Amino acid sequence: MNPILPGGVIGILGGGQLGRMSTFKAKQLGYKVVVLDPTPGCPCGQVVDEQIVASFDDELALRQLAEKCEVITYEFENVDSRAVELLEQLGRKVFPDSQALKISQNRWAEKEFLRRSGVGVADFFKVASLADLETAMQQIGFPGLLKTATGGYDGKGQVVLYNEDDARQAFATLNHPALIWEKKVTFVKELSVICGRNQAGEIVTYPAVENIHVENILDMSLAPAEAPAHVQAEAQHIARTIAEQLKLVGVCGVEMFLLPDETILVNEIAPRPHNSGHYTLEACLCSQFEQHIRAICGLPLGSTDLKGYAVMVNILGTGAGNRLAGLEQVLQNSQLAVHLYGKSSAAARRKMGHLTALSPHSLAEARGWALEARAKLKWV
Ligand SMILES: Nc1ncnc2c1ncn2[C@@H]1O[C@H](COP(=O)(O)OP(=O)(O)O)[C@@H](O)[C@H]1O
Ligand SMILES: [Mg+2]
């Protein structure tokens, strides 16, 4: 495919912060952006050339989007895959394609895909009935996790199971037609790798980073992860394999568990820019967002080399207020970059922004700066 020339129009399904940061990079390369999202003035809507305000299953709106754009992408994986299929039927290229989307939308299909690709995953069992639940108890065992196959995010739709009572109760509470039982693995670290692949089949991987979650929401990413070189290499190799098997066009985040014996298991994949890749905005010449835009527009990919030790921390809402105070103190440290997503309401646990510290010396220094900075911010 010929590259999309600057001035061409990129469509995005979904108007959150991932779309917003992708748009900044698309604009840098001279593209125009149209977003489809039901909320007027959403984070991405604030910075695009045009927003189509409609729900993701609004066929007329999807047809409008197809008409206006040369290529279309999505920024969250819970967009209805039928919407993406319709765009494809209308002759529009959607990257990553509807196949990649469907795989990542269903934890069971995803695990099957990963296993088929030769990548390690925690033992799992598909649970669609009480009888399946009993089989899973026997075959996979405890401790386990029962997760809804679809619709879950930030730890929603999953329960940890220690015994049969937990399992039956979780089955009733989750009350979902498609569930997956996973063996709860003991890990040393959670890692992730962002990889990018373009239409020519060129692949790049960013270094594996360590992710620390608090209450199932990403709190901090440390780049690069402190791990032996062969673990780094293996993590990147896994991500590359997934990109190839998925015939990915765009970027993909791959979440992994590093076990005590240095085995790596893949937890889940997200065929889009990923929260754990935000540090690339400052730490790499070509950020994950620019990489995504390059890949979907048929351009060569960019450098993923690190310029220093980077630590990213998320800034979550608390419910205490919608204005953020303290920026003037935070920015006294010139090694910090702050990103706020322009969301009007800072509800508790909502992702409102992030900050990244870049140290030429050490991860510990970057981490200290990032935490010190975040502590100075307050919702008022
Ligand atoms: N099989 C597992 N073993 C151990 N911990 C797990 C397992 N699955 C999930 N977790 C923990 O729960 C977190 C959220 O689970 P995940 O499957 O990534 O769902 P989400 O879509 O909500 O991010 C993971 O980051 C990890 O800390
Ligand atoms: Mg996850």
Q: List, for residues 5-20, the tens digit of each pLDDT value.
A: 999 999 999 999 999 9
**What CATH number is associated with residue 240?**
3.30.470.20
Tell me: do 310 and 274 sit in the same domain: yes
Distance 337 CA to ligand 1 centre (A): 28
Quote the tokens at residue 179.
Answer: 């569930």
In a domain, 107, yes or no: no
Tell me: do 300 and 235 sit in the same domain: yes
Tell me: do 231 and 364 sit in the same domain: yes
Which residue CA neighbors atom 7 of ligand 1 most closely? 184
Q: What number is the average pLDDT over the span 237-244?
A: 98
Classified as helix, coil or strand, 69 is coil
Q: Which of these three, 144, 160, 183, is where a domain ends?
A: 183
Q: Which of these three, 55, 76, 94, is where a domain ends?
A: 94
**What CATH number is associated with residue 41?**
3.40.50.20
Main-chain phi, psi angles of 55, to 5 degrees:
-80, 160
Containing structural domain, residue 151: 123-183
Which residue CA neighbors atom 14 of ligand 1 most closely? 155
Per the structure, the count of domains in the chain is 3
Classified as helix, coil or strand, 258 is strand
Which pLDDT does position 153 carry in this prediction?
A: 87
The best mutation among 267, 268, 349 to test binding of ligand 1, ranked by most ligand atoms within 8 Å of the C-beta, falls on 267
CB burial of 293-328 (b: ≥16 within 10 Å; e: otherwise) equals bbbbbbbebbebebebbbbbbbbbbeeeeeebeeee
Distance 155 CA to ligand 1 centre (A): 7
> Residue 182: pLDDT band by 50, 70, 90 thresholds?
very high
Which pLDDT does position 91 carry in this prediction?
A: 96
Question: Is 1's pLDDT higher than 80?
Answer: no
In a domain, 4, yes or no: no
Tell me: do 179 and 193 sit in the same domain: no
> Residue 356: pLDDT band by 50, 70, 90 thresholds?
very high
Tell me: do 196 and 172 sit in the same domain: no
Distance 70 CA to ligand 1 centre (A): 36
Tell me: do 199 and 162 sit in the same domain: no
Q: What number is the average pLDDT over the span 244-272?
A: 98
Distance 218 CA to ligand 1 centre (A): 11
Tell me: do 147 and 200 sit in the same domain: no
Main-chain phi, psi angles of 71, to 5 degrees:
-150, 150
Tell me: do 351 and 207 sit in the same domain: yes
Distance 284 CA to ligand 1 centre (A): 27
Q: What number is the average pLDDT over the span 70-81?
A: 93
**Peptide bond preceding 360: is omega within 30 degrees of 0, i.e. cis?**
no
Rounded Cα–Cα distance for residues 255 and 155 (Å): 14
Specify whether the backbone of 208 is left (phi greater than 0), alpha (psi in -120 to 50) or beta: beta
> Residue 155: pLDDT band by 50, 70, 90 thresholds?
confident
The best mutation among 148, 180, 216 to test binding of ligand 1, ranked by most ligand atoms within 8 Å of the C-beta, falls on 216
In a domain, 116, yes or no: no
The contacts of residue 29 (CB under 8 Å, 6+ apart) are 6, 290, 293, 294, 297, 299
Number of neighbouring beta carbons within 10 Å of residue 372? 14
Tell me: do 359 and 234 sit in the same domain: yes
In a domain, 279, yes or no: yes
Quote the tokens at residue 377.
Answer: 């911010």
The binding-site residues of ligand 1, defined as CB within 6 angstroms of any ligand atom, are 122, 145, 152-155, 182, 184-185, 190, 213, 216, 255, 267-268
Tell me: do 147 and 171 sit in the same domain: yes
Closest Cα partner for 109 from 269, 241, 239, 276?
Answer: 269
SS3 percent helix, strand, coil of the chain, rounded to 5, is: 30, 25, 40
Which pLDDT does position 77 carry in this prediction?
A: 84
Q: What number is the average pLDDT over the span 254-262?
A: 98
**Peptide bond preceding 43: is omega within 30 degrees of 0, i.e. cis?**
no
Taking the alpha carbons of 308, 313, 314, 317 in that order, is the dihedral positive or negative? negative
CB burial of 338-355 (b: ≥16 within 10 Å; e: otherwise) equals bbebbbeebeebebbbbb
Query: Which percentage of the chain shows pLDDT scores above 90?
Result: 97
Beta bridge partners of 339: 354
Ligand nearest to the backbone CA of 147:
1
Distance 251 CA to ligand 2 centre (A): 16
In a domain, 22, yes or no: yes
Residue 111's alpha-carbon distances to 92, 181, 208, 342, in angstroms, are: 29, 11, 21, 35
Q: Could you write out the three-class secondary structure of 77-120?
A: CCCCHHHHHHHHHCCCEECCCHHHHHHHHCHHHHHHHHHHCCCC
Greatest alpha-carbon span in the chain: 60
- Which atom of ligand 1 has the smallest separation from the CA of 186? 4
Number of neighbouring beta carbons within 10 Å of residue 194? 29
Tell me: do 172 and 230 sit in the same domain: no
Residues 44 and 75 sit within 8 Å (Cβ to Cβ) = yes
> Residue 318: pLDDT band by 50, 70, 90 thresholds?
very high
Which pLDDT does position 154 carry in this prediction?
A: 84
Q: What number is the average pLDDT over the span 138-160?
A: 94
Classified as helix, coil or strand, 29 is coil
Tens-place pLDDT, residues 94-143: 999 999 999 999 999 999 999 999 999 999 999 999 999 999 999 999 99
Q: What number is the average pLDDT over the span 329-358?
A: 98
> Residue 321: pLDDT band by 50, 70, 90 thresholds?
very high
Tell me: do 274 and 168 sit in the same domain: no
Ligand nearest to the backbone CA of 253:
2
Q: Which of these three, 183, 204, 232, is where a domain ends?
A: 183
Q: What is the mean pLDDT of the chain?
A: 97
